[in-house]
Amino acid sequence: MVKWLHPRNLLQVMTWVILTALMVGCGDSTSNKSIHKIDYSKDYPANSGGTLIDAMTGEPSGLIAMIAGESAASAIAGNIFNSLLKYDKNLELTGELAKSWEISPDQRTITFHLKPDLKWADNTPLTSDDVLFTWQKVTDEKTRTPYGSDFKLVTLAETPDANTFRVTYKAPYAPALDTWAGLHILPKHLLKDQDINTTAFARNPVGSHYYKLEQWKNGQYLKLTRNVNATQGQAKIDHLLSRIIPDKAAQFLELSADNIDSMGLNPIQYARIFPARPELNKNIALYKELGNSYTYLGFNLKRKPFDDIRVRQAINYAINKQEIIDGVLLGLGEPVASPYKPGTRWSNPALKPYPYDPAKAKALLKAAGYEDHDGDGIIDKDGKPFSFEILTNQNKEREMTGVLIQRRLKEVGIDANIRVLEWASFLGRFIKPKEFDVVVLGWSLSLDPDQYSIWHSSQQAPGQFNFISYSNPRVDKLLEAGRLELNPDKRMKIYHEFSAILLEDSPIVYLSAGYGLSAIHKRVRGISNPAPPAGIGHNTYEWNIPQAYARSEMSEH
């Protein structure tokens, strides 16, 4: 037998190896520590340069957003590509590639005038031909995109000259402007002979925005570098590096060790961990902004007794929304009373959420015929106890929300059970065939007010989004009118009325809209705080890292 395999020798060898490894490891432990002693409170004039390292939980599948679709892809591609229009910091539409746009008197034709001398990152001119090409691609039957339907409403797309792009719709289509703000314009000269579904361009894109892709290490990071040919202005920070770290706890450790500059936080990290760790707050600033979605409790209106408005309103009164915001979001959210971002044009300021009022809830239930006749603590009608199932998908915040609702409903005598399901079976077995009583889910607080696909009575087929089967002729009319009206002020009135009816009808109970939370190292300057409605990301091109605070060269390359 080999001599070194003797247990005593082997243990010695191992101890030696481990000790050596530890000592080698200790050798460079001093290099990074000095960073923590820098005082980040000094003021410096904005200069360009530096690298911003952030972390994301998922890797983009590609950078052609119309095909990739996931948020990681949109986040990165948004730094590389431009759309015709964009939302400004107050979430109003403004031109990006377009300098201006006109709407014809019959509201069917939109003419976009491009800014002069637009260029791609490879210095080729960007013209209306590229816009037309992009439209052709997104509406092409062979393109594997789920986002084509809005653009298929265009009956005629033309380019009268290199700087003009004109689209004509069959009927006025008010959400059109929003759809053009979401469509990244792609370069025709690089893609015209490619199959957009498989092209290597998706992993090696050329855009026109502030940054271009320099390097993509699969599964590790994407590195963007400032596009010197950018025609939207020059960003100050030279490199944006996005590391892929799926685990939030690991991201947090990387942030604490000053290996990344920014990450999105969850409410616990924001409200519990940071306040308890003063040494972190010395280097890291916290930001909160309006979130992009709200959580709701939705009724299956095809099932009894949820077809009864008194029952729906009673449940709305019985639920304490502030408790959900405090308990689930640790106070980091707002109640909403319409499906629009509070403080923006579309949100009706006159609407207030249903207050928490169990007495009123009981009275409404009694009016609907529900009382505790047999004295078992659960209200009943015609001998049947009021009992139902709250369905939600595997999402910690939604599960917790469900538990809080369950308790409050019990207080008014309603017996609710919670059932949590994996997403695909939730959707396939319960939502599509409408086999549910009540769901806890989320919708986005959309930037365009059109919510036709969610609330119009024609959108109830399996797989469509009005799965709660809401049907109100007045709302149908308003939603149709809102789609035809391109004048923002007239449109606003339509949607204010729509949200008022929706609140009164209570087909869903608005529960909460959580804030977007992020932590960014104090070396990064120029961030708007408090955040405007569009969030802190509205002016990333103005963010800068003073030279004195930049990371050492080694860790940048």
Partner 1 sequence: MLKYLLKRFFWMIPLLVGISLISFMIMHLAPGDITSSEASFNPKASEESRQKLRELYSLDKPVIVQYSLWMKRMATLNFGTSFASHQRPVFWQTKDKDGNVTLGMIQEALPITLLINVLSLILIIAIALPLGVISALKQNQLADRVITLFVFIGFAIPGFWLALMLMYWTGVQHNWLPISGLQSLGHEHLHWLGKTLDTLKHLALPVFISAITGLAGIALFVRNGMLEVLHQDYITTARSKGLNEHRVVYGHALRNALLPLITIFGLSIPGLIGGSVIAESIFAIPGMGKLFYDAVLMRDFPVIMGILTIGALLTLIGNLVADVAYAWADPRVRRGVMQ
| Contacts to partner 1 from residues 427-456, by CB under 8 A | 427-429, 443-444, 446, 451, 453-454
Contact letters for partner 1, residues 63-92 (x by CB under 8 A): -x--xxxxx---------------------
* Burial of 425: CB neighbours in 10 Å, binned 0-12, 13-18, 19+: exposed
Between residues 124 and 406, which has the closer beta carbon with respect to partner 1?
124
What's the burial of 270, exposed, middle or buried (CB within 10 Å: 0-12/13-18/19+)?
buried
Q: Applying CB under 8 A, does 21 fall inside the site for partner 1?
A: yes
> Shortest gap between Cβ of 214 and partner 1 (angstroms)?
12
Tally the residues of the chain: 557
Tell me the closest approach of the beta carbon of residue 258 to partner 1, in angstroms.
Answer: 9
- Binding positions for partner 1, 143-202, rule CB under 8 A: 144-150, 182, 197-200, 202
Helix (H) or strand (E) holding 418: strand 415-421
- Selected from 461, 473, 489, 530, the binder of partner 1 by CB under 8 A is 461
49 lies in the site for partner 1, by CB under 8 A: no
Q: How far is the CB of 486 from partner 1 (least distance, A)?
A: 19
Contact with partner 1 (CB under 8 A) among 14, 268, 367, 548? 14
Smallest distance from partner 1 to CB 246, Å = 4
Give min distance, CB of 450 to partner 1, in A. 9
Site string for partner 1, 374-413 (x = CB under 8 A): -------------------x--------------------
Closest to partner 1 by CB, 111 or 197: 197
Among 163, 259, 406, 469, binds partner 1 (CB under 8 A): 259
Closer by beta carbon to partner 1, 235 or else 245: 245
* Alpha carbon 406 to chain centroid, angstroms: 28
Question: What secondary structure letter does DSSP report for 125?
Answer: B
Q: Quick one: tokens of 134?
A: 């992009």
Q: What DSSP line would sit under 13-50, residue for residue? A: HHHHHHHHHHHHHHHTTTTTGGGGG--TT---------
- Min. distance of Cβ 291 from partner 1 in angstroms? 16
Q: Give least dist CB 367 to partner 1, A.
A: 35
Interacting residue with partner 1 among 40, 49, 61, 330 (CB under 8 A): 61
- Nearest CB to partner 1, comparing residues 406 and 446: 446
**Residues 301-320, buried b or exposed e (16+ Cβ, 10 A)?**
beeebbebebbbbbbbbbbb
Q: Which of residues 213-252 bind partner 1 (CB under 8 A)?
A: 217-221, 241, 243-247, 249-250
Structural element, H or E, at residue 481? helix 473-484
Smallest separation (angstroms) from partner 1 to the CB of 141: 7
Q: Closest distance between partner 1 and the C-beta of residue 22, in Å? A: 7
DSSP H/E element including 440: strand 438-444
Query: Among positive and negative, which fits the CA dihedral 268, 274, 280, 285?
Result: positive
User: Taking CA 36 as the corner, what is the angle to CA 32 and CA 40, rounded to the nearest 5 degrees?
Assistant: 130
Query: Residue 37 interacts with partner 1 (CB under 8 A)?
Result: no
Min CB(350)–partner 1 separation in Å: 25
350 binds partner 1 (CB under 8 A): no
Q: CA dihedral in degrees (483, 484, 490, 491; nearest 10)?
A: 10
Residue 276 in the binding site for partner 1 (CB under 8 A): no
Number of H helices, E strands in the chain: 19, 21
| Other residues' Cβ atoms within 10 Å of the Cβ of residue 356 | 16
Q: Which stretch binds partner 1 (CB under 8 A): 211-219, 381-389, 487-495, 520-528?
A: 211-219
Nearest to 75 by CA among 450, 530, 516, 453: 516
Site size for partner 1, by CB under 8 A? 83
Residue 137 to residue 139: CA distance in whole angstroms:
5
Q: Which of 22, 228, 276, 350 is the binder for partner 1 (CB under 8 A)?
A: 22
Burial of 528 (0-12, 13-18, 19+ CB in 10 A): middle
> Exactly one of 366, 465, 476, 542 binds partner 1 (CB under 8 A); which one?
465
Residue 6 is a binding residue for partner 1 (CB under 8 A): yes
Positions 102 through 141 that interact with partner 1 (CB under 8 A)? 141
DSSP 259: S
The minimum distance between CB 30 and partner 1, in angstroms, equals 8
410 burial (CB, 10 Å; 0-12 / 13-18 / 19+) is middle
Look up residue 201 and give its two tokens.
Answer: 């361009």
